[in-house]
Structure 1
Amino acid sequence: MNTSKTSYTPCPDCNGQGRVNRGLSKKARLRYQKALDAYTRSGAQGPAPAKPKAHLQPCSTCLASGLIPAEQPPVPDSDTYPHVAIIGAGIGGMALAVACLHRGIPFTVYERDLHFDSRSQGYGLTLQQAHTALKGFGIHELQDGVVSTRHIAHQPDGTVIGEWGMRKWDTGTHTTSKKTNIHIARQALRRALLDQLGDAHQIQWGHQLLEIKQTGDGAIQLDFQAAGNVKSASAHLVVGADGIRSTLRTMLLKPQLTPLRYLDCIVILGICDLQNLNHLKNPLLDSATVFQTADGTARMYMMPYDRDRVMWQFSFPIAEDEAKSLSAQGPEPLKKEVQRRTPWHEPIPEVISETDPAFISGYPVYDRELLTPEMTTNWGNCTLLGDAAHPMSPFKGQGANQALLDALALAKRITKGCNLSKSFKEINLRKKILSKFETEMLQRSALKVTASAKAAAVLHSEKVLQERDGPRGGGVQ
């Protein structure tokens, strides 16, 4: 077996962007010229016609990934690119590190956990649009990923009120698709990203951010609590990828401007070994089916976690203080609460019964008011991505997807905004890179934050019981 690892370097034909400028079409040029002539004849009355943007096409050299294989990753270019300090080694932080590595952007990751497996990272993810973006990180296949081909919605007695997916529409003729959802354990995706970093990675474990401050030479000093001491580091660009309670966010933005917003429900998660359920022979546990059951108030959602386990997500409305109290009681009371509320169809009671409490957790569901580009103008050479920038409910499965898209977009912005012929120190990083990145990120993610909040309400209401062969909650997967 070939165990050699493929490294990557930016595609020279698209400068790592994945798309190439093919210029304006003749039709677009003529349309713009006609509008410009009319504007001139009118004596320049009103706003001038906007010049159309050049058409971008997928780069054929790198197949739109922005990367080409190489024996070694590029040597970090400290003259052209700013050194990036990444706060947090979750999905977004690890993804940004990988994207920087492949593009020769110097970086260091700072994570408060002492090592990769310090905390339980047990829940599963559904990769939707970010599935195709993974090639921009040099990941062309997720060996631990599971493809779902069937989605079913039930009432508590097992009555089917909706079915969709490839097995429904394609009568089982397709097993993979570019538009297919891939289910994968969060920690497995983190591991895939960590493997991309290989021996070249720069991760400082056990570092809790304490303070940032601008230095006289234009750099940013970062102070960390590490091994009982205060340690300092320096960077030219700082990115907060440290989650919904981001430390960097509180330093950049007054917390009272966008406080945590409770979405009136709790989520309880569990992972169950399918080997314990072999006696059921239930088709819903075939490792390729996602199903959900709801009674108009509470909802159970089950999906493949990997080929040997299923993950379940149970949610229901509850007052915030009660949600905090219940989640703090630990896995055994959480399990009993789920069992009490779900005397439903097979295999729900059986799955809950066979779930080891060690793999059960629960938490109140929050998001935040949306950021705006105006809020970020005074952040200097600092920015946020993922849940630190736009936390959302889990009910559209978009948190990890958006974090991956954020990381790739920022790395591409840095590559595009820094000119190989001069030092990054001659560039206004906020204006040239960060403001443009934030505008695009916030516009894209705002739709997901809003839809996820709406789904939190719809999925715990009578609306979820409508008979329809399609996702519930406004497109929830």
Structure 2
Amino acid sequence: MTAHSPTVVDAENFPHLAIIGGGIGGVALAVACLHRGIPFTLYERDRGFAARSQGYGLTLQQASKAIEGLGVFSLDDGVISTLHLVHTTDGQVIGDWGIRKWLQGDAKSSPKRTNVHIARQSLRQALLEQLGGDERVQWGHQLVDFQEIDAGGVDLSFQVDGTIQHAKADLLVGADGIRSSVRSLLIGEDASPLRYLGCIVILGICPLENLGRLEHDLLDSATVFQTANGNERIYMMPFTADSVMWQLSFPMPEEDAKALSAEGAQALRDEACKRCQWHDPIPQILATTEAAQVSGYPVYDRALLTADLLEKGKQVTLIGDAAHPMSPFKGQGANQALLDALALARGITKACGPKSPWREAGLRASVLTGFEAEMLKRSATKVKDSADAAEFLHSDIVLHEGDEPRGRCLKRKPQAADDMDRPG
């Protein structure tokens, strides 16, 4: 479902944005600009929407409101979970929470928020539809360099079909992921290198029809569950109404993790099957997941950015994983990217109106410093919690008995959002 007709582009009063990266964050920023009349060009290095895998499932929590702010008021492919269970490997339940349980007790005490599970590509497609379709993206554009102009603006250099092409913009926004070209060109790899978090993730998608006649309460398309032994941990959630996504993770030396990932999908699935001969329906799901639907990778993040590093760019900023990459274990990557996109667009709208002196004062003073301060503060706890989760989810802490997200016992205080570990 789309929003009202977009606002007329106001190129006279607003800066023109060059958005690098056509993933969730980049498309969301483009949509936010479109709705506000902010001129933009969206560049993506891939040659098309389906050129490569865009990941698996996402869980939207506090970003659900951001989605509405982007004009998407319904996600037809989204699935709402109502129960979360934690098991030992023999199937014993050691944690149990969610709307389904809370409503059994006191309906008045049930929280109103729900978690929506959706395939990354489905959310990306919904945002692209808001944008007006694939033709709004400059596909096949790989950023290779940029130069800031003293008088204002940025010169961009792209590799396109083997040739170098140039473009100009008032503001360059890197939304190009954990290995961001914009970030690398702006601050360099040495200033904030990739940081290995000590474990590997293996992901798979299994249509329920692959399981034949197998029926199980955990496969009702509304239950999220995880099973762990203090080393390996598997997490399963609805991917669509008729399929599940699984995420297996376990500690492994970095070089071994790289080698296993390089062996390919069949080796990754075999490793998962070998490690998870646990309670039903886990072995059946792993065994019937087609190798083409399996991938795996070592888990990385980066140290938190500091304001002084970002201030190297007078007309350049970063959002999403380009700014604050984090492990997948708290499910916050896409959520934070959506919030970043909306915050930046709102900041531009507020600071760059008809009577604003932003061209004289510069975008850094007018918009970027304030936006980045809020973004870094908001995302810092998510990065830290996600890194901590990479450790405690593969330790005995995950076996703590209690009807609460794993790791909550470490803090014993309310959290704003517990993402993948807090459905319902």
Instruction: Please state if 1:134 is matched with 2:67.
Output: yes
SS at match of 2:104: coil
Structure 2, unaligned runs of 5 or more? 409-417
Letter in 2 for 1:111: E
- Aligned counterparts of 1:240 and 1:316: Cα–Cα separation in 2: 31
Answering whether residue 66 of structure 2 is matched by residue 114 of structure 1, we say no
1:395-449 CA-to-partner distances (Å, cap 9, x unmatched) read: 0000000000000000000000112235742342101100100000000000000
What residue number does 1:124 align with? 57
How far apart are residue 133 of structure 1 and its match? 1.6
Counterpart in the other structure of 1:310:
244
- Pairing of 1:167-246 with structure 2 (within 5 A): 167-171=100-104, 178-198=112-132, 202-215=136-149, 217-246=151-180
Quick check: 1:437 aligned with 2:382? no
CA offsets, 1:248-302, max 9 Å, x none?
A: 1011112112111100000000000011224121010100000000001000000
**Structure 1 partner of 2:415:** none
One-letter code aligned to 1:325: A
Query: Partners of 2:376 and 2:55 in 1: how far apart?
Result: 28
Instruction: Please give the per-residue CA displacement for 1:123-161, whole angstroms capped at 9, x wherever unaligned.
Output: 000001101221110011111100000000000000110
The C-alpha deviation readout for 1:6-40, integer Å capped at 9, x for no partner, is: 54xxxxxxxxxxxxxxxxxxxxxxxxxxxxxxxxx
1:44-98 alpha-carbon deviations (Å, 9 max, x no partner): xxxxxxxxxxxxxxxxxxxxxxxxx3xx311211111000000000000000000
Q: d(CA) in 1 for partners of 2:265 and 2:312?
A: 43
Q: Is the CA contact 1:156–1:295 (under 8 Å) kept in the aligned structure 2?
A: yes
The offset of 1:215, in angstroms, is 3.4
Is 1:259 aligned to residue 193 of structure 2?
A: yes
Give me the whole-angstrom Cα distance separating, in 2, the residues matched to 1:363 and 1:392.
Answer: 14
Determine the C-alpha separation between the residues in 1 that align with 2:378 and 2:135.
29
Answer yes or no: is the 8 Å Cα contact 1:81–1:105 preserved in 2. Answer: yes
1:473 is aligned, of 399, 404, 407, to 407
Does the aligned pair in 1 maintain the 2:128–2:134 contact within 8 Å?
no
Q: Distance in 1 between matches of 2:284 and 2:2?
A: 44
Aligned residue type for 1:135: E
Is the CA contact (8 Å cut-off) linking 2:99 and 2:111 kept in structure 1?
A: no
Aligned to 1:164: 97
* Aligned residue in 2 for 1:43: none
1: CA distance between counterparts of 2:46 and 2:334? 19
Q: Does 1:327 align with 2:238?
A: no
Seen in structure 2, the aligned counterparts of structure 1 residues 208 and 289 have a Cα distance that, compared at 3 Å, is: same
Give the Cα–Cα distance (whole angstroms) in 1 for the partners of residues 88 and 170 of structure 2: 54
Q: C-alpha separation between the residues in 2 aligned to 1:442 and 1:424?
A: 23
SS at match of 2:118: strand
Q: How does 1:54-133 map to 2 (within 5 A)?
A: 69=4, 72-133=5-66
* In 1: Cα distance, 2:90 partner to 2:404 partner: 20
Query: What TM-score does the superposition give when structure 2 sets the normalisation length?
Result: 0.93
Q: Which protein is bigger by CA-based radius of gyration?
A: 1
* Secondary structure of the structure 2 residue equivalent to 1:131: helix
1:416 paired to 2:353 = no
Match of 1:171, SS state, is: helix
Deviation at 1:179, TM superposition (A): 1.1
Aligned CA distance change for structure 1 residues 201 and 79 (closer, same or farther; 3 Å): farther
Does the CA-based 8 Å contact 1:262-1:366 persist in structure 2?
A: yes
Equivalenced residues, count: 409
Q: Name the CA distance, whole Å, in 2 between partners of 1:205 and 1:344.
A: 44
What's 2:328 paired with?
Answer: 394
> Does 2:286 match 1:352?
yes
Query: 2:49, 2:134 within 8 Å by CA — same for their partners in 1?
Result: no
Q: Take 1:190 and 1:325, find their aligned partners in 2: how far apart are those partners?
A: 31
Q: Answer whether contact 1:212 1:221 (CA < 8 A) is retained.
A: yes
Q: Which amino acid aligns with 1:346?
A: D
1:214 CA drift (Å): 2.3
> Partner of 2:411 in structure 1?
none
Kept in 1, the 8 Å contact 2:302–2:326? The answer is yes
Q: Normalising by structure 1, what TM-score? A: 0.83
Contact residue 163 and residue 469 of structure 1 kept, 8 A: yes
CA distance in 1, matches of 2:317, 2:356: 23
SS in 2 for 1:74: coil
**1:448 aligns to 2:399 (yes or no):** no
The alignment status of 1:459 with 2:424, answered yes or no, reads no
Contact 1:122/1:359 (8 A) holds in 2: no
Q: For 1:444, what is the secondary structure of its paired residue?
A: helix
Match of 2:87 among 151, 154, 159: 154
Report the equivalent of 1:286.
Answer: 220
Q: Are the aligned partners of 1:269 and 1:313 in contact in 2 as well (CA < 8 Å)?
A: yes
Distance 2:306 2:124 in 1: 29
Q: Is the 8 A contact 1:79 1:423 kept in 2?
A: no
The separation in 2 between residues aligned to 1:100 and 1:151, in whole angstroms, is 37
Q: Any unmatched runs of 5+ in structure 1?
A: 8-68
Counterpart code for 1:331: A
Q: Which moved more, 1:77-86 or 1:191-200?
A: 191-200
Q: Do the aligned partners of 2:2 and 2:73 also contact (CA within 8 Å) in 1?
A: no
Tell whether 2:274 aligns with 1:340.
Answer: yes
1:201 deviates by 6.0
Structure 1 contact 332–357 (Cα < 8 Å) conserved: yes
Letter in 2 for 1:165: G
